[in-house]
Chains A and B, each alone.
Chain A
């Protein structure tokens, strides 16, 4: 019985050693992957900050003003002025479109009374 136990113990120690060996390398690989991912995240974050800064730089009021001036013929943008604000009641009703066209040159309609009330 005893030798069997010895053999089993020896085998399990070997098995565990092999498992530990594999786990060690798997852990190291996971740490390496993580480091690479974090490098990626850091690089992306850096790019994001840079792009945010660039967005702010490109949208600075000075530049927008110049662009509005350069493209005035297309955009026709003016600074907002008080007279552009108003009440809804100040807006005139849209001109009423008459249902029928105006009759401004009357036409003479001449017809003949058909005999027997019969129309062609």
Chain B
């Protein structure tokens, strides 16, 4: 590079001749030199900036394009990485306590159509109508030809139906894979399982969401992909459930009852071993919710959990336990049982206008199920202490069992609590609760006075919740209930060897006029066995049963719910591995043989 001197001699000499300051020449040259340098470095900086800008533009374009691509493509499983065995299904299985499958998934296909690709819509419509009886050819043809480009035809297909649709061979008919929920046991435990339906549906997959029962209550757990491989294990026992449902169904048919419910619960852990509600439905093909009639008459209605009934005399044991706990009476104290009793404008009567009075021991109040005796005990206890006891037993709150229906079944308790309420609630009228509440409360007595919370999940441990009554009170209450079975209102429940203890309850159903129907009753038998050391609690409820085997139709629990419960114990106790505790047989005279 030729460097221009800052002071060129020729120009300086010339400037000196002309009398100009030669320094201005130097400054001028210096300025020009700086300008050149500036232009050069600017050009370089501009070049670098451009490069950097291009780099950024390229990076952002690439990231944007990648994001667009990811958003636009269908999700795909990574093929090169080794996937574990965890993600096998989109919804966890449900099993019983022994691992028998109660609900699982099955791959099937949905059928959809692209009418614009269809070659012969008329023929396709006719063929489809022949395969699926619920479809009409005209209807399908109209939908194929009204200009739409996509339509769903059927949500699930059986393999046979799929083959037949394949045989139509039209390019406009397409299949999408679907994971379908399958309940292999049909109607068994239907009310617990509830059912599922499809949520958001796409061509390649569809969400399966729980709509009722435990499927909805534990929906988040079932759909959790991290736990999809681990089945949800329930406390139910499939064999027991089948035996209970069968026995209950037979009893319900024989007694021409409208409905029935049974709960079998472990008295210490609160695990529900069997929960039946009849009539039942098939969760594989769950019927729609009823739009007319009483919701309580629908097979979808879970009588054991949703059904809130006045449970009648089964409550008397709570009144007596309360009085025992407060130290007001002992089992042998005599109480006034002179019937009928007048309280204000109300008259308290006994069953069939009997009079067990004038005095009756507390034991016999329970064994004979005396309304007046219980009423007098309740009046001694008083409203506040009675309410507190019912509250402690859980009769003021819905049960927290793992069913979506449970929180809706709030017991109906009186708002005010005058003396007449004290009396009626003492024998289970004017207060309504579900059989599940009753099972939990009887479980508390069976568990030695410690509150039991029912649960449907396996893995329960003996409960150590709040103590409601002392062990002594619980024991005395059990002994009284044992007497109900040995010589009281529930003698039919005396299954030899199992020491059944329980209490009957017959409640007339409230009618729409505000009164009670005498020929429509809800019969309940709540029991535990064996009485000396209870292991299991069983509650059987029958809706409008009638025993017509005698000369007069009988509607008391002693002739309806009690024999059904006894039959259930007879079936279930050996399955639970319980040996009957038999009186030792007189040993045959030993024949000593000596050789």
Contacts and interface: CB of A to CB of B under 8 A. Distances in A.
A34 B77 CA distance: 13
Given A81-B574, A85-B574, A89-B587, 4 more contacts: A49-B89, A53-B184, A62-B242, A81-B570
Contact of A82 (B77, B79, B498, B585): B498
Contacts of A54: 184
B574 A53 contact: no
Interface in A30-65: 31, 34-35, 38, 45-46, 49-50, 52-57, 59-62, 65
Contact of B579 (A35, A56, A86, A92): A86
B184 A79 contact: no
Task: Please give me the 3 A-B residue pairs with the lowest Cβ-Cβ distance, nearest first.
Answer: A61-B242, A56-B184, A56-B101
Contacts of B104: 49, 52-53, 56
B497 A34 contact: no
B573 A45 contact: no
Interface residues of A, number: 32
Contacts of B587: 89
B274 to A, nearest CB: 12
A87 B583 CA distance: 11
Given A53-B101, A53-B106, A79-B571, A85 B242 contact: no
Contact of A62 (B88, B186, B495, B585): B186
Contacts of A89: 587
A54 B185 CA distance: 11
Interface string B551-595: 000000000000000000011011100011010010110000100
B243 interface: yes
Contact of A85 (B89, B188, B579): B579
A100 to B, nearest CB: 12
A96 interface: yes
B184 A60 contact: yes
A34 B101 contact: no
A61 B238 contact: yes
A81 to B, nearest CB: 6
Given A82-B495, A82-B570, A35 B188 contact: no
Given A38-B83, A61-B242, A82 B580 contact: yes
A99 to B, nearest CB: 9
A50 B184 CA distance: 11
Contacts of A50: 106-107
B182 interface: yes
Contacts, number: 80
B188 A82 contact: no
A80 B580 contact: no
11 contacts: A34-B80, A49-B89, A49-B105, A49-B107, A52-B104, A54-B184, A62-B188, A62-B242, A82-B574, A84-B574, A85-B580
A90 interface: yes
B570 A34 contact: no
Contacts of A55: 101
Interface string B99-114: 0110011110000000
Contact of B106 (A38, A49, A81, A87): A49
Contact of B100 (A49, A56, A62): A56
A83 interface: yes
B242 A82 contact: no
A55 B100 CA distance: 10
A46 B159 CA distance: 14
Contacts of B186: 60, 62
A92 B585 CA distance: 12
B487 to A, nearest CB: 21
Given A62-B242, A90-B585, A80 B101 contact: no
Nearest to A60: B185
Contacts of A45: 88
A56 B95 CA distance: 10
Q: Which of A38, A80, A82 has the most CB of B within 10 A?
A: A82
Q: Which of A31, A45, A56 has the most CB of B within 10 A?
A: A56
Interface string B198-211: 00000000000000
A65 B247 CA distance: 13
B79 A46 contact: no
A55 B106 CA distance: 13
Given A49-B105, A50-B106, A52-B104, A83 B580 contact: yes
A8 to B, nearest CB: 36
Contacts of B107: 46, 49-50
A45 B238 CA distance: 25
A119 B528 CA distance: 82
Contacts of B105: 49
Interface in B228-263: 238-239, 241-243, 246
A95 to B, nearest CB: 11
Nearest to B242: A61
B358 interface: no
Contacts of B241: 61
